[in-house]
Chain A
């Protein structure tokens, strides 16, 4: 019986095939509008080198203290600041969550860890590996640093770290330009997302209504064949749910195909450097609201027809 109902709904003007194509095409359009520019700029950020930090003996900038301190017969690099998270961000380019005392992953089993844990009478956090000198350093807050320097000999340096691009010394680099553009795009993305979803869902609804005559005819046909109404409704829901899932995946596939191809054409015609901006699989979530609204509009229309008919 399921196969029979599926076949009935597969034919005609308002068929399941058309429904899948509509969701796929509209979903792909939405993904392309939303993610192509943002994805491209994100890729640019990965490719373009970040501006260097500048180091100075004088302010302005974030002050940083460092030195090789002799801790339990071994020399260890200790870094400190009144704002350790900002220092770490400047040194690594990443926003790393940091506790009062942290040590690099490569010295997690060394004597320095034991010493620091004894000092604070607690556990020391080990940072994730960054493939840099941070992996071999201890990063501590300024008050703890003063305590350590009181016990451990070693020469201390004080410097100021500045974000080269942010303090206006350098002309805007490609990196900062892409980052700023990404911020603008992200800001408009939400607005665009809401408006596109409403617009595309309305199109889905109109297409759904267009097919109402066909659906009505099929429902009459099914009722004439004495197929119980509950079963009919259940199977119809199942068919459209399946079609929605197929449509969502096909829409992602379409966008996943079209975005890089369009970027290649942009490279050819406008000499815009091509950076692969393939869509992440998680972006499929974006299509779900349109798909669910379409599903809802179809199911509601069908329910309306069934119950009005009774």
Chain B
């Protein structure tokens, strides 16, 4: 009974964490939400699914929004939040994986806590978003949990694989590399006289690989080659996998040493210190470094203890391969895209090994007290991340949506705006162009975050003053000022 209560509390915490941007700002998080919202509404109106462009090609997210909107009778805007809700259910999957590996319930509890309140803040910044990636995240963790079952049901496996494949290409790639790592481990086990999982894993990878290839071949035939995955990248990834596998095989010490070097690089890249792309993220503070140390040291201990476990090694090798690949493939735009995607899966690995360090501590006197203190500490430390996300550059606010909706019919000229606002404008059918050198007589739409974080151009953030220095803004006519949204008419440039 106590176990169920703790798990429920963890689940509630997970739900509140990922839904916090919606609950506070009353608008979806990250611009992709508006794209998928539009797609979902189109499906509802037209009554059919169209597979025409990039955002249609992995339709899981759109279909989930439509499904819940239809059966619950709620608007598609509200039903977008089913995606973060599903992400929060990953906490249960992480609990199952951790319990299965460690067979120690307290350790299993700490794994979802570590995932939800990771000092890398991936759970809130990624989990709260309505994207293809997040729609596939729950299935990714479920797949790993399902993989640990000795005799998985074929129909269940097929459904899960198909869901992942139509969910997102990167999530499917993560699982494919995970299966590949498991297969390498199986081959190694076979030579030690243990062929228990080999046949099962060959079947699994064959089915999953066939589905993955077929679907992506279909996508390729429709829209052509899509970034960031290319033939060269895949080849590089295979060699990176080989390298990481060798490091993990040399010994426990080599695995940990490699992680000791990789984790700081990951942290620096995450906070914009490594890539040659300007991002509006605050530099990492000394307090955050402290939080990370408290998180990372147990994680490394966990890795040291469970280094020999085939599941942990497969998760470690696959997620580390992706994060290392993202760093070595270049510190440019493409590298940043792959890094951002890979980080979410790397945090699953870190959360798992963090949780797995606790069986050692909990056996000692005062172990449970220490466990409680660290868990509460992580929860409190993640407040920084939550506040960063709520007011960060990816956050939208209800007032922006409502005001722009009201203004829609009054606008007869195209507005100049950044990429962040263009997502919302595209959803509302507002004619717009992206930022360029301003000319007299043009209309510019700005929001509060443009003044705080700058202008988003693709993945690059630039300061507003680059396009609109103070003297230009002050000479503009302010046609609309709604607190968040402002429309300017350029007077003198």
Which residues on A are within 8 Å of B, measured CB to CB? 6-7, 10-11, 16-17, 21, 24-25, 28, 249-258, 260-261, 264-265, 268, 274, 276, 278, 281
Contact = CB atoms under 8 A, between A and B. Distances in A.
Given A21-B250, A264-B265, A256 B328 contact: yes
A260 B328 contact: yes
Interface string B310-327: 000000000000001001
B274 A253 contact: no
Given A11-B192, A264-B265, A254 B243 contact: yes
A254 B246 contact: yes
Interface stretch (B78-86, B151-159, B234-242, B420-428): B234-242
Interface in B184-241: 188, 191-193, 235-236, 238-241
B331 A256 contact: no
Given A253-B239, A256-B328, A261-B328, A24 B246 contact: yes
Given A25-B246, A256-B239, A261-B328, 14 more contacts: A21-B249, A249-B239, A250-B242, A253-B241, A253-B244, A254-B246, A256-B240, A256-B328, A258-B243, A261-B262, A264-B274, A264-B327, A264-B331, A276-B328
Interface string B263-287: 0010010000010000000000000
B193 A257 contact: no
Contacts of B245: 250, 253
Main secondary structure of the interface of B (DSSP, over half): helix
Given A21-B249, A268-B268, A278-B236, A250 B328 contact: no
A281 B242 CA distance: 14
A249 B245 CA distance: 12
21 contacts: A11-B192, A17-B188, A17-B191, A21-B246, A28-B243, A250-B242, A250-B243, A252-B242, A253-B240, A253-B244, A257-B243, A257-B244, A257-B328, A258-B243, A261-B261, A261-B324, A264-B327, A268-B268, A274-B331, A276-B328, A276-B331
B330 interface: yes
Nearest to A256: B239
A281 B231 CA distance: 14
Contacts of B268: 268
A77 B223 CA distance: 43
Contacts of B188: 17
Instruction: Please provide the 10 A-B residue pairs with the shortest distance between their CB atoms, ordered closest to farther.
Output: A253-B242, A257-B243, A253-B243, A260-B328, A253-B239, A10-B191, A254-B243, A250-B246, A250-B242, A256-B239
B240 to A, nearest CB: 5
Interface string B245-267: 11101100000000001100100
B268 to A, nearest CB: 7
Nearest to A249: B242
Nearest to B269: A264
A17 B239 CA distance: 18
Contacts of A260: 327-328
Contacts of B193: 7
Interface in B143-163: none
Contacts of A250: 242-243, 245-246
Contacts of B328: 256-257, 260-261, 276, 278
Interface of B: 188, 191-193, 235-236, 238-247, 249-250, 261-262, 265, 268, 274, 324, 327-331
Contact of B261 (A21, A256, A265): A265
A251 to B, nearest CB: 8
A276 B192 CA distance: 40
A258 B244 CA distance: 10
A25 B328 CA distance: 19
Contacts of B262: 261
Contacts of A264: 265, 274, 327, 331
A257 B261 contact: no
B327 A261 contact: yes
Nearest to B239: A253
Given A21-B249, A264-B274, A256 B243 contact: yes
Contacts of A252: 239, 242
B321 to A, nearest CB: 9
Contacts of B241: 253
A249 B184 CA distance: 15
A23 B150 CA distance: 35
Contacts of B238: 253
Contacts of A256: 236, 239-240, 243, 328
Nearest to A260: B328
A43 to B, nearest CB: 11
Contacts of B191: 6-7, 10-11, 16-17
A287 B40 CA distance: 54
A156 to B, nearest CB: 44
Contacts of B192: 7, 10-11
Contacts of B236: 256, 278
A40 to B, nearest CB: 14
A234 B192 CA distance: 22
A17 B187 CA distance: 12
A254 B247 contact: yes
Contacts of B274: 264, 268
Nearest to B262: A261
A281 B469 CA distance: 49
A21 B268 CA distance: 31
A278 B239 CA distance: 11
B243 A276 contact: no
Of B193, B238, B242, chain A has the most CB atoms within 10 Å of the CB of B242
Contacts of A258: 243
A253 B321 CA distance: 11
Nearest to A15: B191
Nearest to A268: B268
Nearest to B321: A257
Nearest to A252: B239
A117 B287 CA distance: 77
A257 B331 contact: no
Nearest to B195: A3
A239 to B, nearest CB: 10
A16 B246 CA distance: 13
Contacts of A24: 246
Contacts of A278: 236, 328-329
Of B240, B245, B328, chain A has the most CB atoms within 10 Å of the CB of B328
A54 B394 CA distance: 51
B193 to A, nearest CB: 6
Nearest to B238: A253
Contacts of A17: 188, 191, 249
Of A10, A17, A28, A261, chain B has the most CB atoms within 10 Å of the CB of A261
Nearest to B335: A276
Contacts of A261: 261-262, 265, 324, 327-328
A275 to B, nearest CB: 10
Contacts of B247: 254
Contacts of A276: 328-331
Nearest to A257: B243
Contacts of A255: 243
A253 to B, nearest CB: 3
